[in-house]
Chain A
Amino acid sequence: GDSVTQMEGPVTLSEEAFLTINCTYTATGYPSLFWYVQYPGEGLQLLLKATKADDKGSNKGFEATYRKETTSFHLEKGSVQVSDSAVYFCALNSGGYQKVTFGIGTKLQVIP
């Protein structure tokens, strides 16, 4: 079945540092890939998505590129802020299926 692998963390960075959160997946067919963000005490919000190979999703300074050859969708940001502290979930959906498969979530802590 489908699966998503990401580290749980926490990942601790200083403000303005470069961020990478790795995400790899296994899936049938040609999945769409998502990054969701969960701020403390809130539900998940869509951060960005990519629907086909080599697509780059971007939002709020975050980027992720759909790499079919390495089955990866790593999240990056050039300069993190304290307000980026949250839990980040990588997720996929294999086209015709109605279920979204989530990773375990990576907690990011940004310190001033």
Chain B
Amino acid sequence: EAQVTQNPRYLITVTGKKLTVTCSQNMNHEYMSWYRQDPGLGLRQIYYSMNVEVTDKGDVPEGYKVSRKEKRNFPLILESPSPNQTSLYFCASRTSGSALQPQHFGDGTRLSIL
């Protein structure tokens, strides 16, 4: 089954404790992206990657890092989480070439930073 898998689904942690949210897709997609979803703000893009070793900032990259060492994986790293990063996070992927293709989303990761 074609899917985007995020882990963990839920995490409560404390300010300053480094954390990583993993994202993996099994569709051989070149393009992957991270979003955060906040009430009243909708989805905002954090980072995206066009292919292995190619990443770029989205609209709200501050406080986040990403890496793309393998095609299937695109982890999101919070080096020093802060309470304003409490949010619902989604990973997505699609084929590259045309940005007109729809994205496939994971089920989300709800982070609470205390």
Binding site for B on A (CB under 8 A): 8, 32, 34, 36, 41-46, 49, 51, 89, 93, 95-100, 102-105
Contact A51 B100 (CB under 8 A): yes
How many residues of chain B get a CB closer than 8 Å to chain A's CBs? 25
Contact A104 B40 (CB under 8 A): yes
The SS class assigned to the A binding surface is loop
Closest to B105 in A: A43
Top-8 shortest CB links A-B = A43-B105, A104-B42, A46-B102, A102-B43, A32-B100, A44-B105, A93-B99, A43-B107
- Report 10 cross-chain contacts, Cβ distance below 8 Å, ordered by A residue: A32-B99, A42-B108, A43-B106, A43-B108, A44-B90, A44-B103, A46-B102, A98-B56, A99-B45, A104-B40
Question: Does B48 lie at the interface of the complex (its beta carbon under 8 Å from any beta carbon of A)?
Answer: yes
Cα distance, A46 to B31, chains bound together (Å): 16
Closest to B44 in A: A102
Question: Residue B41 contacts which of A45, A98, A104 (CB distance < 8 angstroms)?
Answer: A104
Neighbouring A residues of B108 by C-beta, 8 Å:
41-43
Question: Does B4 lie at the interface of the complex (its beta carbon under 8 Å from any beta carbon of A)?
Answer: yes
CB distance from A81 to the nearest CB of B (A): 23
Cα distance, A98 to B37, chains bound together (Å): 19
Closest to A99 in B: B45
Question: Does B50 lie at the interface of the complex (its beta carbon under 8 Å from any beta carbon of A)?
Answer: yes
Contact B40 A8 (CB under 8 A): yes
